[in-house]
Structure 1
Amino acid sequence: MEFKVKNEFITLGQLLKACDFISSGAQAKFAVKEMNILVNDEREDRRGRKLYAGDTVIVEGEQIHLK
């Protein structure tokens, strides 16, 4: 899947919501602790992690390329 970053960056929590992995931003705090999330091949559990165009995020085995 590809995701277009509209501003300079998007946070991991915002990306999870935008890609329908969670239904509300409030769920991000718990989701990042429970879901298997990799950012550029490194485990990530911070919902505020800034993601930029060129980053690759894998959420529960589904790959997302940020553009």
Structure 2
Amino acid sequence: MNEFKLEGEFIPMIQLLKACALVGSGGEAQLVVEDGLVKYNGQTDYRKRLKVRRGDVIEFNGRQIRVV
């Protein structure tokens, strides 16, 4: 599992996917979220603007990212 160091209070889901290089663009990030390919704390989540905070775990394409 990889870790992402959060600098503020939260990061929107699509920005996190881009920042972790899980997708190539914001448009791609929106599509994978809309298609239900991203899990947020173990549950499929369709919210592109979801506020991801410290302690959350994101799963996509076989990779896990823990926000610290």
Tell me the TM-score normalised to structure 1 length.
Answer: 0.86
Partner of 1:58: 59
Distance 2:25 2:64 in 1: 21
Q: Report deviation, 1:27.
A: 2.5
Tell me the TM-score normalised to structure 2 length.
Answer: 0.85
| Secondary structure class of the residue paired with 2:59 | strand
Q: Report deviation, 1:63.
A: 0.8
CA contact under 8 A between 1:35 and 1:59: conserved in structure 2? no
Distance 1:3 1:51 in 2: 11
* Pairing of 1:35-46 with structure 2 (within 5 A): 36-46=37-47
Moved over 3 A (4+): none
In the alignment, structure 1 residue 21 sits paired with structure 2 residue 22: yes
CA contact under 8 A between 1:10 and 1:51: conserved in structure 2? yes
How well do the aligned residues superpose, as a CA RMSD in angstroms? 1.4
- Give unpaired runs (5+ residues) of structure 2: none
Q: Report deviation, 1:35.
A: 5.6
- Give unpaired runs (5+ residues) of structure 1: none
Identity over the aligned pairs, expressed in percent? 36
Distance 1:45 1:35 in 2: 6
